[in-house]
Amino acid sequence: MRSISVIIPNYNGKHLFEKYFEHNFNVIKNSINDVEIIVVDDASLDDSVCFLKEKYNNQITIIEKDKNTGFSDTCNKGIEIASKELIFLLNTDVYLTSSYFDKLFCYFEKADTFGVMGRIIGMNDDFIQDAARMPELHGKKIRIKNSYYVEDDNFFTPTIFLAGSAVLVNTKKIKLIGGFNNLFSPFYGEDFELCLRAWRMGWKCYYEHEAVCRHEISGTTKDYKKRNWVKFIYFRNRYFAHFLHLDGLDLLKWNIQIFIFDFLLSVLMLKFYKVKAYISYLSNLSLLIQSKKHFTFLMEKQSGKSINLGLVINNIEKMTKNKKIIKV
């Protein structure tokens, strides 16, 4: 049996702890003998920490941050102190089924496994919110195809990224590549970028269809300014991910592509959130270059070569060739 550090990032999630934590706590304790549970609070304004201390103080570790810095930094605080063989990243709005872990541990018998995720379905229905994802290049833009799974119980299904709601990863590997990239704070795309690094290190990410959890979807905001701020973060982080993982001529072509079709067209169409995202990308270039250089050094030290996105996509396509793929 593997040992696991459970890391739960939290921001104003008292109502979610009240609904799901006791159940998840029992599932984890019943499934894993050697486990530590770490809750990292991102400077919540509700009574999350008080609630946890009152009910679980001697059974979990609570890290309280003084400043709200977003999902990446919050998870990284937990990753830093995780002491077990595997790390289970768990969101507060997830409900684990009792058998969630049963088929996950076998993936880590393979030395090149970075992590594995299960099937994510609705809290009140069986609609699949997330499964395995297949990547493709649209021009020089990275596109993620619809969710899929493979109809073969003995096949380890690859996925380009692990949706961050309930993910099991190798502790040494995630620490080696530095956890989530804090440039992606406060949220959006950090799990995607993390897994791109994992694949480029020569590791693999998998999807297990029989491991099921339920996920409560948060309500969409009706505030116009808030919605446009979220769109700004989304596109900014997409630009960040592309810059970090495209190289040479591909990077040059992508920059031309987004300048024409994202920036100039957005100016003409008055999509100012996208214009702002592009400007933010340019203003963060020095930090992105530092991050890119550091990862390139790690990758070449690990594998002795540079693994580009094209090789990653080809690898996933080869792994799924001649398999019966079910799109969802």
CA 300 from chain center: how many Å? 23
- Count CB atoms within 10 A of the CB of residue 235: 24
Structure tokens at 13: 């999630």
CA 47 from chain center: how many Å? 27
Sign of CA dihedral 296, 301, 306, 309: negative
Q: Which residues contact 209 (CB under 8 A, 6 or more apart)?
A: 118, 119, 131, 149, 150, 157
**CB 43, CB 67: distance < 8 Å:** yes
Structural domain 4-215, CATH architecture: Alpha-Beta Complex (3.90)
In this predicted structure, what is the pLDDT of residue 217? 83
* 3-class DSSP assignment, residue 49: helix
Residues in a beta bridge with 6: 37, 88
Closest by Cα among 75, 92, 113 to 213: 92
In this predicted structure, what is the pLDDT of residue 222? 45
In this predicted structure, what is the pLDDT of residue 304? 87
**CB 312, CB 199: distance < 8 Å:** yes
Domain boundaries in the chain?
Answer: 4-215, 224-303
In this predicted structure, what is the pLDDT of residue 223? 54
Sign of CA dihedral 233, 234, 235, 237: positive
In this predicted structure, what is the pLDDT of residue 224? 52
In this predicted structure, what is the pLDDT of residue 201? 97
Q: Does the global pTM surpass 0.85? A: yes
CA 22 from chain center: how many Å? 24
- Tens of pLDDT, residue by residue, the chain (328 residues): 689 999 999 999 999 999 999 999 999 999 999 999 999 999 999 999 999 999 998 899 999 999 999 999 999 999 999 999 999 999 999 999 999 999 999 999 999 999 999 999 999 999 999 999 999 888 888 989 889 999 888 999 999 999 979 999 999 999 999 999 999 999 899 999 999 999 999 999 999 999 999 999 874 344 555 789 999 999 999 999 999 999 999 999 999 999 999 999 999 999 999 999 999 999 999 999 999 999 999 999 988 889 999 999 999 999 999 999 999 8
Residue 104 to residue 321: CA distance in whole angstroms: 23
In this predicted structure, what is the pLDDT of residue 226? 79
In this predicted structure, what is the pLDDT of residue 221? 41
Give per-residue pLDDT as tens, 155-176: 999 999 999 799 999 999 999 9
